[in-house]
Structure 1
Amino acid sequence: MAQPAKPGRKTRGRPARSPAQIADMRAGIADCAMRLFLTEGYAAISMRRLAREAGCTPMTLYQYYDSKFDILSALWAEVLGEVFDALADVAAAEADPRARLVAVGEGYVRYWLTHRERYFLVFMSGGVSQAEVTGFVSGSDTLTRFDLLGDVLGTALGDDVEAEALTLKTQMLACLLNGIAHNLITIGGVPWAAPEALVRQGIAGLLEA
């Protein structure tokens, strides 16, 4: 049986890191991963390569993240948090319910068009399994940020809309906005209408249907 350390005797190993030091190390690893994933793709980067670029050993890397997907999911949460923080500000600045809905829809699409590499990171990373995506969606608070879409849509539709209809229309709104962003980003050579026109037309259909 191991004997307890004697008073005043130095123990082996490094001192425990403070919560701030742990957060800084995680942030540094995430920043490095973001750069590599955006430039070379998630599937192309190994944990050994990431550790080397982050200036640590693979063993150290696993002390801060359980897996490569654990890092990717943290980046997804970071990006989506940035998106919806910005959209919350957009919603708060617009008093008219319908104008607020349009502004949020346009802001959502505009974000991805402005940050196309982040769109690929969040929605089109290769080497990610469906089980991993399902785990992220079901186990992350990030998904609740999409409630903003239902909130602004519900206000624009008015108090008469039934809960079931609002749920369906909110899902249609999410599909509409992601579909517009996806087509404009991935299908070049098509004379698409302006993003704002597409968003406004789609939202008009949701409000009238």
Structure 2
Amino acid sequence: MPRVLSESDVADFRERLCEVAEKLFAEKGPDAVTMRQLAAELGVSPMTPYRYFADKEDILAAVRTNGFNRFADALEGAYASARGVRAKGAAVGEAYVTFAFEHPQTYKAMFDLNQPHEENYPDLVAAALRARATQTSYVKDLIAEGILAGDPEEIGRMFWAAAHGAVGLELAGKLPAGTARGLHRHMNGALAKGLRPGA
């Protein structure tokens, strides 16, 4: 008879399983990873992961939820630590690029992996919305100060596309190592110039 697991035991195993899954999902893609492989990586029986997750899709959702929340923590921390609306915007952008390069597997799991039924995982939806909000809050400040003009959601998407494009190209080896950060700054400057009131 299996021993009764404490909440701490469950949380610890789920975390370890998610760490292994994130690595394998990023390297091989979720379709190429099996529950048996995940169990083998952890040295447990093939059925053990099913005690903690319903299936592989459930694990992918947990991996991505954790990633989005960590990403949001980083961006929110950068926003809170900077003084002045321009500095806050710059800090959020820097935190975005830093997170992507310090946690490339997490970043790939968040933005590059397909999850067909994302809406079935409310924690994932909430985490993704939280992460998205961190990318528009500073834009709202810039608009309120009269530095930018336009729809904050649309402008936030523009800055996000610029950051993701630069990061993705470097992570894919299409840009020389270390160049995405400078490219990102230049794109942000060009975008900001074009979005000034009366521009």
- Provide TM-score, normalisation by structure 2: 0.79
Aligned match of 1:106: 94
**Partner SS, residue 195 of structure 1:** helix
**Which of 51, 56, 69 is matched with 1:68 structurally?**
56
Indicate the RMSD between aligned Cα atoms, in angstroms: 3.0
- Provide TM-score, normalisation by structure 1: 0.75
**Which of 13, 23, 42 is matched with 1:25 structurally?**
13
Counterpart contact for 1:30–1:75, Cα < 8 Å: yes
Aligned match of 2:187: 198
Aligned match of 1:177: 163
**Structure-2 change in CA distance of 1:124 and 1:94 (3 Å):** same
Counterpart contact for 2:74–2:99, Cα < 8 Å: no
**Structure-2 change in CA distance of 1:15 and 1:107 (3 Å):** closer
Q: Please, which runs of 5 or more residues in structure 1 have no aligned partner?
A: 1-12
User: Given residue 166 of structure 2, which amino acid in structure 1 is its aligned partner?
Assistant: I
In the TM superposition, what is the alpha-carbon distance from 1:82 to its structure 2 partner?
A: 1.8
**Structure-2 change in CA distance of 1:149 and 1:35 (3 Å):** closer
Aligned match of 1:147: 133
C-alpha distance in 1 between matches for 2:153 and 2:187: 22
C-alpha distance in 2 between matches for 1:207 and 1:134: 36
In the TM superposition, what is the alpha-carbon distance from 1:160 to its structure 2 partner?
A: 7.1
Q: Per-residue CA shift, 1:20-43, capped at 9, x if unaligned?
A: 111112112112222333444433
Q: Please, which runs of 5 or more residues in structure 2 have no aligned partner?
A: none
For the pair shown, which has the larger CA radius of gyration, 1 or 2? 1
Q: How many residues align?
A: 192
**Structure-2 change in CA distance of 1:105 and 1:118 (3 Å):** same
